[in-house]
């Protein structure tokens, strides 16, 4: 069975779907691996390393014509034309926003697995791309905030005077938020965090941060451990309570997302106006509309004296390790998609496993994807 690894062409994407180390493991399992020339360059994996791992270096068309294509980002509609009938695709497909893509994949006879649809269960942890990449994003977001903040993160005491530690507020305590809390604490900041799910209070406190308790009148716990969208009344109460709290922050790391919904507005313009000049907002929800209405996706702006960072792909800024984590997730996923028999490797029936069944968005000419209930 042949695996194809095309080069990512989305602007700003520096990751690659597998690494030379994982190529060796895939080869040991009996796969042929075809890597497009230059696919790993931006992640600091050169062609020579893939060649040494016994991958075949090919052009884009040949990588896409493999039995199994693994990518980080979704293919373009044009790239789908290179897939062969019955091929399998594994990638971050953003199925909520990509109905046309899913329809084209189904039309092409491709069985596609959306990596973001891997269920968050104990058995699926090793395949959970969203968690592995969110961990990296949470770390990198804090580094970005520390670099752009005009003062120290830790308390500093010198012969020239003393500086108080930065006050960092993290909004959202999912995987990215918890990593942001841990990283900011390691850098010596005072950290507080808010989440609409009361159950995360203990996790926040275990990392040395203070849990911000706001009574919004209802729980924000959704399906599968994700947050759900609050009612309009609860949103209003949340915004008003948070606005006054946020004005005391020096750096805000905002991570709040709701599956298949626009990001909730947590940082109002009034809150931004109340921040001290030189404060920083890292809006990690920028790609989904932003937790701050002033955020501009993909840009860094200054509004009311506050730096607002709207980067949309933090893992790509740590592309070497992000690729390594992604490649390991992919290797683990292939263990439930492919079986070894006397005649070689074959695809298993994906409907017979709860993980592959949940992640499968197209199969046998049909679009199977159903948006999650929040």
The pLDDT tens digits of the residues spanning 42-52 come to 999 999 999 99
Across 28-32, 141-145, 362-366, 369-373, least confident range = 369-373
pLDDT cut 90: percent of the chain above it? 83
Nearest one of 335, 336, 331, 318 to 21, comparing CA atoms: 331
Fold for 149-313, please state it.
Rossmann fold (3.40.50)
128 catalytic? Reply is yes
For residue 295, is pLDDT > 90? Answer: yes
Question: What pLDDT shows up at residue 235?
Answer: 75
Mean pLDDT within 253-268: 92
pTM here?
Answer: 0.92
Average pLDDT, the chain: 93
The answer to which of 29-43, 64-78, 102-116, 190-204 has the lowest mean pLDDT is 190-204
Question: What is the phi/psi pair of residue 299, to 5°?
Answer: -125, 160
Is position 131 annotated as part of the catalytic site?
Answer: yes
Residue with the bigger pLDDT between 110 and 341: it is: 110
Half-sphere exposure of 24 (CA within 13 A, CB side): 5
- Over 70: is that where the pLDDT of 219 sits? no
Q: Can you give the pLDDT at residue 63? A: 98
Q: Does residue 281 have a pLDDT over 60?
A: yes
Catalytic residue among 151, 167, 226, 321: 226
Residues 6 or more apart in contact with residue 78 via CB below 8 angstroms: none
* Helix ranges (DSSP H) in the chain: 20-28, 47-52, 60-64, 77-80, 99-107, 129-148, 175-186, 201-206, 232-246, 269-274, 319-337, 354-359
Given pLDDT bands bounded at 50, 70 and 90, which one contains residue 342? confident
Whether 215 shows a pLDDT value over 80: the answer reads: no
- In this prediction, residues 58-79 reach a mean pLDDT of 97
Longest dimension (CA), the chain: 74
How many Å apart are CA 174 and CA 17, to the nearest integer? 24
Q: Residue 114: helix, strand or coil by DSSP?
A: strand
- Rounded Cα distance between 276 and 288, Å, is 26
- Give residue 177's pLDDT: 97
- The reported pLDDT for the residue numbered 160 is 87
pLDDT recorded at residue 218: 60
Q: Which CATH architecture has domain 2-128+319-363?
A: 3-Layer(aba) Sandwich (3.40)
**Mean pLDDT, residues 286-305:** 97
Give me the catalytic one of 59, 120, 123, 339. Answer: 120
pLDDT for residue 147: 97
CA–CA separation, 348 and 337 (whole Å): 6
Higher pLDDT, 285 or 230: 285
- For residue 226, pLDDT beyond 70: no
- Exactly one of 128, 132, 179, 283 is catalytic; name it: 128
Contacts of 247 (CB under 8 A, 6+ apart): 271, 274, 275
75 in helix, strand or coil?
Answer: coil
Q: Which of 123, 125, 205, 351 is catalytic?
A: 125
pLDDT in the model for residue 216: 67
Predicted pLDDT of residue 373: 64
**In the predicted structure, residue 146 carries a pLDDT above the cut 80:** yes
Confidence class of residue 155 from pLDDT cuts 50, 70 and 90?
very high
Rounded distance between C-alpha atoms, residue 7 and residue 1, angstroms: 20
Residue 120 is a catalytic residue:
yes
226 is catalytic: yes
Which residues, in sequence order, are CB contacts of 206 under 8 Å at separation 6+?
A: none
Average pLDDT score over residue span 234-240: 77
Other Cβ atoms less than 10 A from the Cβ of 32: the count is: 16
Query: What is the DSSP code (8-state) at residue 367?
Result: E
Share of the chain above pLDDT 70, in %: 95
Delimit the CATH 3.40.50.720 region(s) of the chain: 2-128+319-363, 149-313
Choice among 82-86, 139-143, 255-259 with the minimum mean pLDDT? 255-259
Which residues neighbour 194 within 8 Å (Cβ) at sequence distance 6 or greater? Answer: 169, 170, 171, 172, 173, 211, 212, 214, 242, 245, 266
In the residue annotation, 321 being an active-site residue is answered as no
Residue 106 has pLDDT above 90, yes or no: yes
Q: Parallel, antiparallel, or unpaired: how do β-strands 167-171 and 190-194 relate?
A: parallel
Question: What was the pLDDT predicted at 198?
Answer: 84
Identify the active-site residue in 104, 131, 319, 369. 131
């Amino acid at each position: 069975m042949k695996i194809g690894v095309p080069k990512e062409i989305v602007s700003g994407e520096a990751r690659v779907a597998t690494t030379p180390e994982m190529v060796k493991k895939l080869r040991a399992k009996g796969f042929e691996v075809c890597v497009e020339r230059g696919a790993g360059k931006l992640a600091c994996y050169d062609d020579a390393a893939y060649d040494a791992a016994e991958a075949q270096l090919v052009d884009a068309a040949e990588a896409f014509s493999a039995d199994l294509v693994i990518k980080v980002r979704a293919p373009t509609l044009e790239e789908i034309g290179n897939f062969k009938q019955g091929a399998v695709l594994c990638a971050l497909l953003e199925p909520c926003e990509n109905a046309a893509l899913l329809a084209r994949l189904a039309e092409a006879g491709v069985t596609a697995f959306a990596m973001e649809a891997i269920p968050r269960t104990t058995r699926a942890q090793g395949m959970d791309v969203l968690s592995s990449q969110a961990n990296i994003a949470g770390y990198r977001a804090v580094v970005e905030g520390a670099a752009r903040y005009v003062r120290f993160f830790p308390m500093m005491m010198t012969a020239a005077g003393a500086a108080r530690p930065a006050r960092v507020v993290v909004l959202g305590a999912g995987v990215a938020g918890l990593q942001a809390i841990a990283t900011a604490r390691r850098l010596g900041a005072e950290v507080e965090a808010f989440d609409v799910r009361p159950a995360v209070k203990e996790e926040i406190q275990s990392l040395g941060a203070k849990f911000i308790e706001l009574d919004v009148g209802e729980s924000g716990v959704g399906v599968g451990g994700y947050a759900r969208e609050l009612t309009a009344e609860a949103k209003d109460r949340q915004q008003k309570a948070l606005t006054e709290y946020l004005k005391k922050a020096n750096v805000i790391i905002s991570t709040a997302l709701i599956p298949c919904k626009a990001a909730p507005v947590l940082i109002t313009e009034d809150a931004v106006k109340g921040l001290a000049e030189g404060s920083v907002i890292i809006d990690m929800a920028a790609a989904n509309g932003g937790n701050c209405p002033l955020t501009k996706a993909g840009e860094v702006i200054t509004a009311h004296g506050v730096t607002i960072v709207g980067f949309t792909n933090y893992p790509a800024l740590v592309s070497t390790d992000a690729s390594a984590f992604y490649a390991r997730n992919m290797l683990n996923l292939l263990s439930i998609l492919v079986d070894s028999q006397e005649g070689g490797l074959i695809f298993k029936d994906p409907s017979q496993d709860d993980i592959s069944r949940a992640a499968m968005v197209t199969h046998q000419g049909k679009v199977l994807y159903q948006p999650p209930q929040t």
